[in-house]
Structure 1
């Protein structure tokens, strides 16, 4: 989710996370900065924004008690993501004449991050027009990292590499083990990840873990009101729905889930009416969209079904759904009990794992269609 409201990357600009900020500042002041740190937090937690603010602070030439100065030459370059001693690595694809290195997408990276440092990898890949291609941090990128880190520092106190989404390294990440374990003097690695289980164990074991918790809803609400002039009530409602994920809050604010809602409603209608030609057509169409879009859609489905579970158990529950979604959920709940719904959630969670492992999407979504059809037994229509 990208906005027209560019952001600066000092600690004061980051939503909430006061305990994490204090920890980072304390380590810097005490000169106890680990050379390899893992900023581990879910989407929308601000882990990338924190890493950027930390890198800027470490190289600031006029540090303030609680932040970088924002005015020195080093800070001015950092704010533009153009500091010669702060390097970036992130998932890329080959598009047209562009290669597989992060430097090939540096202009797009600066634009995307300055618009939304809370973005997810799906949004980034769509931003660079990856279409159905899967992003990776390639072997060529790893070679480039080693080369850059062995260059002499230009002017910063530290030479810093920020690796965003190191989950996309794959086995190529083993090329970085030696430089992470024995980095050149004054070199820092800041890895920004969402899923520790998807990281290479050899890299995970070489980093100091810093867990970034989800954001507090009041902090999100204040930001939405101050930054976008959203009415207080609307800001609080969105903040309560996004589960500590600021990027999800931006999507809710822009109604970016409309396509997923329409897609799910049509699919449910076909499956629960046991309309095999329609759900077979859906399977063909979704299989052609690419893995990231499929994962995004399954993620939305899981959110919807989890809310259905809560609605089925809690009579006065205020669902984290829009009005039309609640209507769909109430109709859906007419045909099944808690146990069958829980089994459905488990099926979608397994499907999410299978898609992540490059399973055949036609098989995955056709099997889900059959499961939905068995659940509905032709009893419900959403039209």
Structure 2
């Protein structure tokens, strides 16, 4: 991965390049920020730059033997740690090496890969991955060896917030005192879920949402959509490249999220419990990751409708289809119910993530939505 291939993030790129050029590369780093901002791509670009045999001023050469191996994600000094789960007839706790082929395929297909897309590629969207203590032992063993071809041993830990307590504790000493010429590069979306003792041992780099101008330019280079589709994608994305790409693809999952949200809002407004029960059964029959995606999508559209109701169009990030629905629906999302609605959907998402009974959670959510949509705007005064 080359820095020039990454959309936007010029400031972050400059900081990472300076660390390598000035020989100030820390032994443990954390790239953190929202989903779809290019954190993982930046981590790959930095490791490739660090190992490049013909390093340029502002990027790796892209053609040396080291860069070619990085381009295929097969360099012997680059290791990955990602959340994994048991599939098939597996009995032992799984580690990332068990899914090395699947990981390379998924990442080379989409460098803005999301957690849910990763699980879907494994055919296990109804489960949640973790990073277990066996994985930590694996990392410690790998980093004990000398580098094979480059000056550094490098490990990229994607979503370290998925480490369970024993795994995190096992890594503490390694992160604090790693072998010489070692780079531990973590890529996180929820630093609040990481042990403070791990955070304090890493150098933190915030990766913000991609600017609208950079997103627009990056999507235009893809050449797969007309100008109006690109504008819709930029508005919908709010700095998230993964969301922008989904919007352009107009895939079935994205359409289904929109249809499920609008259906729930209409049925709740009509107080049609019988039809709501059918909605609950359909969503409960989906995988857990898909259920979480529906909740996240709903939270985003609730926010957009509230902003629209406040007549602040400059802060709206919706596609044309979403905007058409929201012009009629937004008056029902106001200061009297927006906070309670957001808390209700967030709580449902937390309960789903904690493996609660989806039918009970979703029916409770629906009943709460009925009550909240009945509230008037003056309720907050």
Of residues 277, 298, 301, the one that matches 1:280 is 277
Do the aligned partners of 1:164 and 1:193 also contact (CA within 8 Å) in 2? Answer: yes
The size of the alignment, in residue pairs, is 370
Question: Structure 2: which 5+ runs fail to align?
Answer: 376-381
* Mapping for residues 364-379 of structure 1, pairs under 5 Å: 364-376=361-373
2:122 is the alignment partner of 1:122: no
CA apart distance, 1:213 = 1.2
Mean Cα deviation higher: 26-35 or 96-105: 96-105
> CA offsets per residue over residues 221-244 of structure 1, 9 Å max, x none?
111111234334432342233111
Quote the residue 2:379 is aligned against: none
CA distance in 1, matches of 2:13, 2:100: 27
Do the aligned partners of 1:35 and 1:189 also contact (CA within 8 Å) in 2? Answer: yes
Quote the residue 1:52 is aligned against: 44
2:199 is the alignment partner of 1:204: yes
CA apart distance, 1:178 = 1.4
CA distance in 2, matches of 1:276, 1:178: 55
Do the aligned partners of 2:31 and 2:206 also contact (CA within 8 Å) in 1? Answer: yes
2:177 is the alignment partner of 1:185: no
Of residues 19, 22, 29, the one that matches 2:21 is 29
Quote the residue 1:241 is aligned against: 236
Do the aligned partners of 2:3 and 2:45 also contact (CA within 8 Å) in 1? Answer: yes
CA apart distance, 1:78 = 0.8
Partner of 2:337, secondary structure, is helix
CA apart distance, 1:76 = 0.9
What TM-score, normalized by structure 2, do the two folds share?
A: 0.91
CA distance in 2, matches of 1:164, 1:315: 36
2:352 is the alignment partner of 1:355: yes
* Mapping for residues 139-288 of structure 1, pairs under 5 Å: 139-171=133-165, 172-256=167-251, 257-288=254-285
What TM-score, normalized by structure 1, do the two folds share?
A: 0.90
Quote the residue 1:381 is aligned against: none
Superposed structure 1 runs of 4+ greater than 6 Å apart: none
Q: 1:165 to 1:337 in 2, by over 3 A?
A: closer
> CA offsets per residue over residues 167-186 of structure 1, 9 Å max, x none?
11121221111111111121
> CA offsets per residue over residues 76-127 of structure 1, 9 Å max, x none?
1111100000000101111114561111111111111111111110111101
Quote the residue 2:4 is aligned against: 12
Partner of 1:339, secondary structure, is coil
Q: 1:315 to 1:181 in 2, by over 3 A?
A: closer
Q: 1:43 to 1:337 in 2, by over 3 A?
A: closer
Partner of 1:188, secondary structure, is strand
CA distance in 2, matches of 1:377, 1:73: 65
CA apart distance, 1:152 = 2.6
Mean Cα deviation higher: 344-353 or 163-172: 344-353
CA distance in 2, matches of 1:91, 1:52: 17
Do the aligned partners of 1:85 and 1:154 also contact (CA within 8 Å) in 2? Answer: yes
